[in-house]
Chains A and B, each alone.
Chain A
Amino acid sequence: MGWQRFGLHAVLVLCSVVMLTPMVWLIAATIKGPDDLFHYLFFPSPSRFSLYNFRQLFEQIPYVRFMINSLFVAGATVLVQLFFSSLGGFALAKYEFKGKRLIMVLMLTTMMIPAQVMLAPMYELIYAMGLVDSYWGLIIPGAVSVFGMFLFRQSMLDLPDDLLQAGRIDGCTELRLYWDVVLPVQRPMIGAFCLIAFMGSWNNFLWPQIILHSQERFTLPIGLNQMVGLYAQEYGAMMAGTLLAVLPVVLLFFLLQKEFISGLTAGAVKG
């Protein structure tokens, strides 16, 4: 039994080392000066730590601007998606109405069709609406998350009907019911969805790359990719840009990790 336990942990530790090494290497790369970057595999002695890469990063591209743009787009997308998706999920979980089955089928179909087939006509549409090179062109088409609607439907199925009925007898309209009764008890799912939606928007690349044209509107993935093209040899600055771009997601993850893991797997395990 002892050997088995030891072998198991040895394998797990080995796998963790393999997974974490690129991250440690990334962090080490950001705080090395240009001469040390490839001289030391990981960290040099602390006296040689340098902010050179970050200075390069901020001088060469408007990184702070990209960061603010990304925060704005992701924040707006999360709020809009959260509202519409939970509202839709509520209707699917707790009401009987005509066309409900059809809507569920349409949602499933949407999830199976690769979004890229719609790129060309979507571009024409956004062009016709005059939304090219604007954040509306990013936020409006993605205002409802189908995945989010499934997620909320799943977790709202467990809501007791008596609770809703009690609210109705007290004179709540359906919208009030959603806002005052349903949303407060959906806290964990809201946390999970916020993180999922935030990561989706934060890492979104293809669509923003197509419709954002002016550099001052670029989000981080677009801006960083452009930098890779322009300053291909600035490895240190590229690593610094990558590290800073990942930090907001990591922070949010630590705030919401409990909700996230349960939300991610809830739909899969139950359904």
Chain B
Amino acid sequence: MNALFFRLQHRYAPYLFVAPFVILFLTFTLYPIAKSLSLSFYITNGPKSQVFVGWDNFRFLWGDPAFHRAVWNTCTYALTSVFLQLPLSLGLALLLNSRLVKGRNFFRFGFFSPHLVGQVFVAVLFSVVFIPKFGLLNRVLHALVGTAIDTKWLGNPELVMPALVLTSLWMYVGFNMIYFLAALQSVDRELYEAAQVDGAGAFKQFVHVTLPGIRSVAVFVTVLSTIGSFQLFELPYVMLSNTAGPDNSGLTVVMYLFQNGFIAGDLGYASAIGWTLTMGVLVISLAQMRLTGTWKRED
């Protein structure tokens, strides 16, 4: 009897251990995804009233100027994350990885520390950094240029995106640097010595030793930060006092989803936006992995 119990509990233990994940996955991931697909064919008003409209939500989305604006803003933000922020993170990591650096841990903490301030709190802080006359940014610019600066960073539609990008640089450059630094430190020092013996200069060493050595981490960080960028919401929403900014200049896809679903109450249209976002994110992250050859290496 006892032996039987032992055999059975050994056999079924792993199923028991993953059961919480499976139950939550079915309830709070699989079901909502399927339900949101079906919801996207309805116009709803709150959770109770629903009217079937077929493809109308998607058709309307296709021609919706506010949605176009949201997609444009979100893509701009994502592009700057990948092509501006990640190279800066890698650059900082390369500097910190130099054998000449003293006080590496101090610098690492200094660069990383903004990430300890969560998105909403960063947004509150920077909404004040950007105020026209007395904000930190204009005061610093004033000191550098010599004349008083009165730029309305968050009131000028042209400047809202640059302000957002600046904020996200401050918040994420050091965070992503941590990944690159860990990857650089795991590259075998002997490879560099071998390259030096072969007469490779600093640039050749970077291309032929460093880049291949950090490739898997670089792909990981790129995919994660792309997915994260497409979900941009808190930063502009809180910085722009719960609005989309002048002329929708700070409107993002998730913010548009939130406005439609939870302020206007149309969960159907919100679901159509959500599905469009999901498809976009899946296509882009799969393309990134394919381009960088991640598929071939695994399995």
| Interface Cβ pair total, 8 Å cutoff | 260
Q: Does B244 contact A (CB under 8 A)?
A: no
Bitwise interface map of B from 235 to 270 toward A, beta carbon under 8 Å scored 1, else 0:
000100110000000000010011001100001101
Do A118 and B13 touch (CB < 8 A)? no
Q: Give chain B nearest CB distance to A152 CB in angstroms.
A: 11
B36 in contact with A121 (CB, 8 Å)? yes
Interface secondary structure of B, over-half rule: helix
Query: When the two chains form their complex, are residues A91 and B36 in contact, meaning their CB atoms are under 8 A apart?
Result: no
With a cutoff of 8 Å between Cβ atoms, the chain A residues found around residue B174 in the complex are 19
A172 CB, min distance to chain B CBs, angstroms: 10
Within 8 A of B (CB), among A100-125: 100, 103, 106-107, 110, 112-125
Say whether A88 contacts B17, CB under 8 Å.
yes
Please measure, in the bound complex, the distance between the C-alpha atom of A82 and the C-alpha atom of B253, giving whole angstroms: 32
Q: Are B254 and A8 in contact (CB under 8 A)?
A: no
Shortest A181–chain B CB gap in Å is 13
Q: Scoring B residues 129 to 158 as 1 if CB is less than 8 Å from chain A, else 0, what string do you get?
A: 101011010011000000000000000000
How distant is the Cα of A97 from the Cα of B122 in the complex, in angstroms? 45
Q: Which of A49-57, A59-67, A183-191, A244-252 contacts B (4 or more CB under 8 A)?
A: A244-252
Main secondary structure of the interface of A (DSSP, over half): helix
Contacts of A5 in B (CB 8 A): 100
- The residue from B101, B107, B136 contacting A16, defined by CB atoms under 8 A apart: B107
B31–A225 CB distance below 8 A? no
The answer to whether B274 and A120 touch across the interface, beta carbons within 8 angstroms, is yes
Docked pose: A106 CA to B134 CA in angstroms: 50
Cα-based distance from A221 to B126 in the complex (angstroms): 15
Q: Is B221's CB within 8 Å of the partner chain A?
A: yes
C-alpha gap A125/B126 in the complex (Å): 36
- Please tell me if the beta carbons of A232 and B241 are within 8 angstroms of each other in the complex: yes
B29 interface hit (Cβ, 8 Å): yes
A22 and B170 form a contact (CB under 8 A):
yes
Query: Would you list which residues of chain B between 265 and 299 have a CB under 8 Å from chain A?
Result: 267-268, 270-271, 274-275, 277-278, 281-282, 285
Q: Are A205 and B119 in contact (CB under 8 A)?
A: yes
From B16, B35, B101, B277, A124 is in contact (CB under 8 Å) with B35
- A88-B18 contact given A16-B111, A120-B274, A269-B186, CB 8 Å threshold: yes
Q: Could you pull out 21 A-B pairs where Cβ atoms are within 8 angstroms?
A: A12-B107, A26-B125, A90-B17, A92-B18, A95-B14, A112-B281, A119-B262, A122-B28, A125-B28, A173-B13, A175-B13, A203-B121, A205-B238, A206-B233, A221-B118, A221-B121, A238-B128, A242-B117, A246-B118, A257-B109, A268-B182
- Sample of 20 more A-B contacts, CB < 8 Å, known A107-B21, A112-B227, A144-B21: A15-B107, A22-B136, A84-B21, A91-B18, A100-B14, A103-B21, A113-B281, A114-B230, A119-B274, A120-B39, A121-B267, A173-B6, A174-B9, A203-B120, A235-B128, A235-B131, A238-B124, A242-B121, A261-B178, A265-B183
